[in-house]
């Protein structure tokens, strides 16, 4: 687990309610909110409530399961579960991670290309 202070992490501040976000779902371990710069008609971020820097440093299998369960709930709630959707996490600079807090992107509402990029 990272030692980043919650006030220094934008996603920790969103979880704490210090920064507004359009929350679409939550559970005891995670929060889901709309991405400010959507890359698909549905683009929701799912973040753990505690600070975890990335999947590379994640150490709680139950927490990761809760993140995935919430991502699936978001897809059902947003009406994209039947047609299909993508769940992505970026790890490190080469993986495209721009915020140092583990987050899943739930993307859908259109056909997804492969390979992704």
Q: Is residue 2 over pLDDT 50? A: no
Lowest model confidence (mean pLDDT) among 5-14, 39-48, 82-91, 96-105: 5-14
* Backbone torsions φ then ψ of 15, nearest 5 degrees: -60, -40
Given 29, 51, 101, 103, the catalytic residue: 103
* Backbone torsions φ then ψ of 99, nearest 5 degrees: -120, 125
Listed by start position, the domains of the chain span: 6-108
Residues 6+ apart with CB under 8 A from 68: 87, 104
Report CA torsion sign: 54, 36, 31, 82: negative
**Among this protein's residues, is 103 annotated catalytic?**
yes
Q: Is residue 50 over pLDDT 60? A: yes
Cβ 110 vs Cβ 84: under 8 Å: no
Nearest to 88 by CA among 59, 50, 114, 61: 114
Please state, in angstroms and rounded to a whole number, the distance separating the CA atoms of residues 88 and 103: 8
Topology classification of domain 6-108: HIT family, subunit A (3.30.428)
Q: Return mean pLDDT, the chain.
A: 93
| Residue 81: per-residue pLDDT | 98
DSSP string, 34-89: E-SS-SSSEEEEEEESS----GGG---HHHHHHHHHHHHHHHHHTT-TTT-EEEE-
| Residue 8: per-residue pLDDT | 85
């Amino acid at each position: 687990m990272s030692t980043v202070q919650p006030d220094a992490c934008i996603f920790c501040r969103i979880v704490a309610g210090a920064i507004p976000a359009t929350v679409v779902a939550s559970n005891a371990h995670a929060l889901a909110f709309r991405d400010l710069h959507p890359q698909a008609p549905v683009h929701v971020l799912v973040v753990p409530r505690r600070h975890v820097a990335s999947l590379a440093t994640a150490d709680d299998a139950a927490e990761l399961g809760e993140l995935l369960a919430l991502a699936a709930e978001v897809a059902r709630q947003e009406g994209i579960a039947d047609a299909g959707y993508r769940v992505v996490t970026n790890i490190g600079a080469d993986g495209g991670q721009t915020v140092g807090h583990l987050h899943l992107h739930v993307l859908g509402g259109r056909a997804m290309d492969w390979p992704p990029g």
